[in-house]
Each structure stands twice: as C-alpha cells, then as structure tokens.
Amino acid sequence: MTHASVFRGSHKCTTMRSNSRPCGQTTPLASRCYSHAKVETDEEFDARWVTYFSKPDIDAWELKKGMNTLIGYDLVPEPKILDSALRACRRLNDLASAIRILEAVKDKSGPHKDIYPYLIQELQPTLIELGISTPEDLGMDKL
C-alpha cells in the first residue's frame, strides 16, 4: 500500500526514496553540491514523531503544539504517527481533539481522495479500541 511519504512535498527530497548523496545530480558533469548536512530519512522522521506523541505524561500543550506543527508540514502523516497522537488524546481524555485530528488529515490530503480512506483503514483497530468515531460516523463531514 502506498507509503505516506509518497505524498511529501517536492521541496523535501529530490526523489521520493533516494539515498542522501553529497551532490544532488546524477551526472558528474552537471554535479552541484548541496549542503553536506545529513538528510533525515522518512523512517527517522516517522519514528521521531511517534516518540513525541508516545510520551506517557504528554500534556495538552505538547499535543497541540505537536499536531499544529505536524499539520504545518507539507505531507500527510503516517498512520503510525496518527495512532500515537490519538492515544495521546486518550491519555489526555480529549475525544474532541482526536476527531479534529482525523478532520485535519483528511483536509491535508487535499485532492488525493484515496489517502484518507487508507488512513482510516489502517487506524481502524485503534479507533475501535479507543472508541473514537470518525467524523463520517457522526455525520460531521457534511455541512
């Protein structure tokens, strides 16, 4: 199934799953040297965010800050990050924010209508376990 990093914005990587090279171009003739800073891989990015939301004593501010920052990125978060965030909402006894997060990622998908159903499919076990209804279940996806 599609990896959510596929939907990263174009500025982040030269190709979707390229290894970081010292120089950006493939042909030595046209080689340009970008910064030699280490580029974070998709897995590292995902792991970092999962860890962030997995903090057992996460507080409401950290949840807000994390979600707002994550939504600010040019990508749709992986299901595992969202799973971690939804569990953080559970620890904070905040159902409304959990539903809001689902709305937000649906909006982030933009014109790609197949991302959100995929996310919900992947999150289904968590949604059932925690008792989170999707906006569609509650009829909140209509005006």
Partner 1 sequence: MLHLTKGRVGCLLSRRVVLALTNRGARMSSHDHHEVSDKVDMSQPMYWDRLDTPLPDRPWKDVLDSTDKSLKQKEKGPWTALSKEEKIALYRLKFNHTYPEMKRPSHEWKTVIGGMFIVFGITGLVVLWQCHYVYPPQPHTFGEEWQAKQVQRMLDMQINPIEGFSAQWDYKNKQWK
- Interface with partner 1 by CB under 8 A: which residues? 63-64, 67-68, 71-72, 90, 93-97, 99-101, 103-104, 106-107, 130-133, 135, 137-143
Pick the closer one to partner 1 by CB: 28 or 111. Answer: 111
Pick the closer one to partner 1 by CB: 4 or 105. Answer: 105
Report the C-alpha gap between 84 and 92 in whole angstroms.
13
Measure Cα distances from 12 to 7, 63, 67, 101, 110 in Å: 11, 24, 20, 23, 18
In the complex, minimum distance from the CB of residue 19 to partner 1, in angstroms, rounded to a whole number? 31
Report the C-alpha gap between 53 and 66 in whole angstroms.
8
In the complex, minimum distance from the CB of residue 50 to partner 1, in angstroms, rounded to a whole number? 18
Pick the closer one to partner 1 by CB: 14 or 133. Answer: 133
Main-chain dihedrals φ then ψ at residue 33, nearest 5 degrees: -100, 115
